[in-house]
């Protein structure tokens, strides 16, 4: 019984700590390293929020990341997943990484010291994407991982994507409306 009480009391904290660690290791630490590298290489210049990537990084860390962390702390799965981690991943892969890659390409095209610094940031982006947390995104999974994911997709499809059964019902008989627009009275006949 003590184990059950400990699980009930400690389970939410373990879930919260696990989510924070996951979010930090997969997105926050590598994202911050890339963002700091872009700033150090002078690929992001000007006032804070003068560049699109400033906004993207702010939203990943502060908005979507905060939703995920607060959702987990309050045991709110919708905020943890859909308003949190889903949005973090979506912004990381579809906005942050492409924007960072564009800034690196522009830095390399500029030549000189800026090109050298940009190449270092490019190497950091590649190392991040080739890490175990992100290699799926660039298609570098092991054969075992591909097989495991294919099996999961198949099980998901069997469970949730079954073809619906079409049930045919007779349509209710329509009441005919007279030209005046009012339906005939349904007074019982005598």
d(CA 31, CA 60): 9
What tokens does 176 get?
């005919």
Taking the model in full, what pTM does it have?
0.74
Residue 182 pLDDT > 60, yes or no? Answer: no
SS3 182: coil
**DSSP characters over 119-139:** HHHHHHHHHHHTSTTTGGGGT
- Per-residue CA distances from 76 to 55, 86, 185 (Å): 26, 14, 54
63-108 pLDDT, tens digit each: 898 888 888 888 888 888 888 899 999 999 999 999 999 999 999 9
Per domain, the residue ranges of the chain are 6-158
**What pLDDT sits at residue 181?**
55
pLDDT digits (tens, 9 = 90+) for 136-157: 899 898 899 899 989 999 998 8
Rounded Cα gap, residues 100 and 103, in angstroms:
5
pLDDT band at 159 (very low <50, low <70, confident <90, very high): confident
Residue 79 and residue 68 in contact, taking contact as beta carbons nearer than 8 Å: yes
Cα-Cα-Cα-Cα torsion 23, 29, 35, 40, nearest 10 degrees, comes to: 170
């Amino acid at each position: 019984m003590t184990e059950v009480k400990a699980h009930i009391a400690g389970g939410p904290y373990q879930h919260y700590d696990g989510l924070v660690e996951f979010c930090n290791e997969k997105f926050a630490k590598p994202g911050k390293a890339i963002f700091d590298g872009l700033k150090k290489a002078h690929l992001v210049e000007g006032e804070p929020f003068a560049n699109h990537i400033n906004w993207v990084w702010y939203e990943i860390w502060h908005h979507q990341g905060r939703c995920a962390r607060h959702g987990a702390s309050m045991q709110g799965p919708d905020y943890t997943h859909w308003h949190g981690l889903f949005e973090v991943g979506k912004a990381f892969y579809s906005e942050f990484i492409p924007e960072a890659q564009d800034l690196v390409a522009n830095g390399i095209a500029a030549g000189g010291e800026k090109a050298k610094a940009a190449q270092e940031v490019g190497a950091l982006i590649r190392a991040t994407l080739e890490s175990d947390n992100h290699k799926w995104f660039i298609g570098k999974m092991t054969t075992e991982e591909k097989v495991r994911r294919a099996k999961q997709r198949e099980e998901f499809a069997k469970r949730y994507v079954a073809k619906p059964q079409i049930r045919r019902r007779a349509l209710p008989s329509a009441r005919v409306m007279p030209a005046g627009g009012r339906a005939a009275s349904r007074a019982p006949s005598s």
